[in-house]
Amino acid sequence: MLEDKNKERTSLETLGEFGLIEHLTQHFTTKQPTTIKGIGDDAAVLDFKKKKTVLSTDLLVEGVHFDLSYMPLKHLGYKAVMVNLSDIYAMNAMATQITVSIAVSNRFPLEALEELYAGIQLACTTYGVDMIGGDTTSSKTGMLISVTALGEASEENLAYRSGAKENDLLVVTGDLGGAYMGLQVLEREKEVFKVNPNNQPDLEPYAYIVERQLKPEARKDIVELLAKLKVKPTSMIDISDGLSSEILHLCKNSEVGCALYENKIPLDPTVISTCEEFKMDGTMIALSGGEDYELLFTIDQADFPKIKGNPNLTVIGHMTDKSQGANLVTRAETLIPLKAQGWNSFQTE
């Protein structure tokens, strides 16, 4: 993809570091009232007044977190921002600003970085977030991207992992397992392409799950929806590593147990059919797949009528006494203790 001979290739050395930052960020504008000074001085200046400031940061490494053989750079830029905004929304806060730092080797021409920043800019515009700074530097081998996201919330609205109580309902947004199954399809097509480069893959039947992998959306809409419904989650987390490990985080931090019902886990029909094709189990994929960037939260039972029937929200279980542990209640009504089998970038192949 990077070797496309029809495309112009401007070497990064022609711009120099300051010229590069200026060039890549020239079309970014700031809109947030909390941004006093964005790019263009030694540091950005922000003013959150009486609101609490929420901050989260992530580092993405080529070959570990992304594979440029099937990840277009524009999508990568978009996804790098989404991953961070998701963590801000998981605090029941609104994202307001980001900084982006990258390290790239000279195998990337300027045009490739323009693509990356086009994706970052699209994410900023779509989610109403200001880009207020960052850095670029050279790397000996691949690409590294670090995004820091800031957000704001009033103190009473913040949702921590630690607030779930016994009998609270466990709720998840959207559907699960799509990003992981999309990755399986992309990996398979990559292998086919290695054997026969003329074989054009037909990804159309997998469009939904491939998009879930390549262009995930953070759930800003859910934070807005909960405010509108006047539902304050008692605890909340985003699903980056799989449902199982996120539930265990809530249980550990809140000192409660959980009963998760297998038959309630929301799966898209494409996930179900692709799991059948790959001879994988849909429940296992939802539990350990990861990268879905949905929100998982608990609510007081008294709030159930407010969320009942909402197509964005599914009640998948309830919190129990800590002594009962965190369990999956299978379709056969047997209890299986949940394990953190979430994806781990430190695991050995």
Nearer Cβ to Mg ion, position 87 or 294? Answer: 87
Report, in Å, the least distance between residue 157 CB and Mg ion.
18
Binding-site sequence positions for substrate: 65, 291, 343
Q: Are 288 and 244 in contact (CB under 8 A)?
A: yes
| CA atoms of 8 and 119, how far apart (whole Å) | 19
| Token code pair at residue 193 | 């392409």
In the chain, count H helices and then E strands.
10, 13
Binding-site sequence positions: 42, 56-58, 65, 87, 117, 134-135, 161, 238, 240-241, 291, 343
Rg (CA), the chain: 21
CA 302 from chain centre, in angstroms, equals 30
Nearer Cβ to Mg ion, position 62 or 294? Answer: 294
16-25 and 110-127 helices, crossing angle to 10°? 40
| CA atoms of 204 and 223, how far apart (whole Å) | 32
Binding-site sequence positions for Mg(2+): 42, 56-58, 87, 135, 238, 241
Number of alpha carbons in the 13 Å side-chain half-sphere of residue 202: 1
Report, in Å, the least distance between residue 20 CB and Mg ion.
31
Contact residues for 229 (Cβ-Cβ < 8 A; gap 6+): 306, 307, 310
Binding-site sequence positions for ATP: 117, 134-135, 161, 240
Report, in Å, the least distance between residue 240 CB and Mg ion.
5
Partner residues linked to 297 by β-bridges: 171, 236
Nearer Cβ to Mg ion, position 189 or 238? Answer: 238
Report, in Å, the least distance between residue 239 CB and Mg ion.
8
* Distance from the first to the final alpha carbon of the chain: 26
Nearer Cβ to Mg ion, position 240 or 327? Answer: 240
User: Comparing C-alpha atoms, which of 146, 56, 38, 145 is closest to residue 95?
Assistant: 56
Nearer Cβ to Mg ion, position 95 or 110? Answer: 95
Report, in Å, the least distance between residue 65 CB and Mg ion.
14
Report, in Å, the least distance between residue 237 CB and Mg ion.
6
- Applying CB under 5 A, the residues found at the interface with Mg ion are 87, 238
Nearer Cβ to Mg ion, position 177 or 282? Answer: 177
